[in-house]
């Protein structure tokens, strides 16, 4: 999916199938392309070379564990970073609120801007 044309209802439908994932009917991995990530949407936690990368965008969040320092550097140094992500979509529920979340399998930085208004 190109990020600009994501159908969130389709992603919710995928999460509703989660009870059926098994051998022979594996959980799908989805490629999200050209995701604009403003610096203010990024939360980086953890220690040296074991960071947690959390990206909170409208309608969807992205999460990856054990990310090396060098890999999270673009998110700290640029006001906007564009990425491609491959991951699994889940429905996260916290304090009674549901939201779409993608567990990142892998991602690549495809562009960045030092300034973003």
At 47-67, the pLDDT tens digits run 878 899 999 999 999 999 999
User: How far is CA 12 from its chain centroid?
Assistant: 15
pLDDT for the residue 116? 66
Where residue 117 falls among pLDDT bands split at 50, 70, 90?
low
pLDDT for the residue 46? 87
- For the stretch 4-19, pLDDT in tens is 999 999 999 999 988 8
pLDDT for the residue 19? 85
DSSP sequence for 63-83: EEEEE-HHHHHHHHH-SEEEE
DSSP H or E stretch at residue 91: strand 80-94
pTM: 0.89
pLDDT for the residue 36? 95
71 φ/ψ angles, rounded to the nearest 5 degrees = -75, -30
Phi-psi region of 10 (alpha: psi -120 to 50; beta: other; left: phi over 0): alpha
CA distance 80 to 38: 4
CA distance 93 to 6: 21
pLDDT for the residue 80? 93
For residue 61, how many other CB atoms are within 10 A of its CB? 17
- For the stretch 80-111, pLDDT in tens is 999 999 999 999 988 889 999 999 999 999 98
DSSP reduced 3-state for 88: strand
CA distance 4 to 32: 10
């Amino acid at each position: 999916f190109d990020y600009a044309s994501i159908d969130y209802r389709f992603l919710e439908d995928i999460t509703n199938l989660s009870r059926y994932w098994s051998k022979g009917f594996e959980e799908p991995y989805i490629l999200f392309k050209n995701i604009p990530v403003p610096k203010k949407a990024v939360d980086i936690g953890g220690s040296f070379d074991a960071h947690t990368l959390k990206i909170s965008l409208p309608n969807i969040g992205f999460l990856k564990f054990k990310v090396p320092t060098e890999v999270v550097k673009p998110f700290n140094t640029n006001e906007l970073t564009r990425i491609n992500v491959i991951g699994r979509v889940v429905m996260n529920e916290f304090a009674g609120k549901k939201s779409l979340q993608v567990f990142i399998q892998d991602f690549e930085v495809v562009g960045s801007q030092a300034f973003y208004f």
